[in-house]
Amino acid sequence: LIVSSGDNGNLQGELMLEFKDGKITGYRHKLHYISYEKDPDEPAIRKMINTLKAERQGRP
């Protein structure tokens, strides 16, 4: 399970579940920091982020 944990997608939470006989028997979790300064910029993703930010401006 991957969730967005930070503001503007700068943190991603990862939850790994272990199952046995249809029941959760364990879990592990990680928090991933996404840095646009360190990570390569994908133009299509950057365009999508900019569009979403523009739509959110002015909202509480």
Look at the chain and report how many structural domains it folds into: 1
pLDDT the model gives residue 29: 92
Using the predicted structure, report yes or no on whether residue 60 has a pLDDT greater than 70.
no
Phi, psi of 39, deg, nearest 5:
-85, 145
Per-residue model confidence as pLDDT tens digits over 13-52:
889 999 999 999 999 999 888 766 566 677 877 787 778 7
Domain containing residue 46: 2-56
3-state secondary structure 4-53: ECCHHHCEEEEEEEEEECCEEEEEEEEEEECCCCCCCCCHHHHHHHHHHH
Q: Is the pTM of this model over 0.75?
A: no
pLDDT the model gives residue 34: 76
Using the predicted structure, report yes or no on whether residue 59 has a pLDDT greater than 70.
no
Half-sphere exposure of 46 (CA within 13 A, CB side): 8
pLDDT the model gives residue 26: 97
